[in-house]
Amino acid sequence: MPIQRSTLYRSHGLMVLTDIDTGKTLFESDLHQCCHCQFTWQYKPGSGIRRGLCKRCGDITCGRTACDTCYPHEQQLDDLEAVERTQRARIEAAVRLHEWKERLGVR
Ligand SMILES: [Zn+2]
Ligand SMILES: [Zn+2]
């Protein structure tokens, strides 16, 4: 039976260092990315660096305490867009003082 790698440890990217003169590959490494903050690191098995696992996202986290709470990156972007929409709506709802005075007929 073939060995199956867990999808949790799938690579999120590949870093390749190439000698510009010879075109020879000097270094190659898998990159992993935190599903919450998008921090990206070089995969070093046995490095001893503590990483996390979000069971809700089904993906790995960078291991920072802030990322122990599930707050997926997509959700963060949606929330940011919602805040921007609210701020834009407030700006559009605001009337400049001189325009308001003109409307009221006050000088
Ligand atoms: Zn993170
Ligand atoms: Zn999560």
Q: Domain segments of the chain: what residues? A: 7-104
For the segment 1-24, the average pLDDT, to the nearest whole number, is 73
Q: Answer yes or no: are the C-beta atoms of 77 and 100 closer than 8 Å.
A: no
| pLDDT for residue 8 | 57
**pTM for this one?**
0.66
Dmax over Cα atoms in the chain, in whole Å? 86
Between 106 and 87, the more confident residue is 87
Ligand nearest to the CA of 70: 2
Ligand nearest to the CA of 37: 1
pLDDT band at 1 (very low <50, low <70, confident <90, very high): very low
Spacing, Cα 5 to ligand 1 middle (Å):
22
Spacing, Cα 9 to ligand 2 middle (Å):
15
For the segment 51-69, the average pLDDT, to the nearest whole number, is 94
> What strands, in cross-sheet order, belong to the sheet with 25-33?
13-18, 25-33, 40-42
| pLDDT for residue 33 | 94
Whether 76 shows a pLDDT value over 70: the answer reads yes
Whether 49 shows a pLDDT value over 50: the answer reads yes
